[in-house]
Amino acid sequence: MTMPSKADIFEHWKKWLIKNGFSLREPNCWACGIWWDSNYDVDGGATWGEVREAWNRVPLQRSILFLNH
């Protein structure tokens, strides 16, 4: 079994994130709320692939993305 990408984990939690008011276009830590200004944000015209790529680039550990929710 291969380790899922951060974007795959993000996609798994997408409905939960929307339900709880998180912006899908502004990657951040769901546990502590840290964010990186606009360094990883994507604009409103971005494709879903660009949104996923932003989540792959953000400096989070997979365990933080997966285990805290």
pLDDT digits (tens, 9 = 90+) for 14-62: 999 899 888 888 888 877 878 888 888 998 889 999 999 999 999 887 7
Query: Has residue 1 been placed in a domain?
Result: no
At 32, which amino acid appears?
C
pLDDT of residue 56: 92
Within a 10 A sphere around the Cβ of 6, how many other Cβ atoms?
A: 22
Query: Helix or strand or coil: residue 67?
Result: helix
58-13-64-44 Cα dihedral, nearest 10 degrees: 20
Query: Has residue 47 been placed in a domain?
Result: yes
Query: Has residue 42 been placed in a domain?
Result: yes
Query: Has residue 40 been placed in a domain?
Result: yes
**Residue 24 CA neighbour count, 13 Å, CB half:** 22
Using the structure block, give the residue that is written with the tokens 């079994």.
1
Which domain does 19 fall in, by range?
A: 6-67
Q: What is the pTM of this model?
A: 0.76
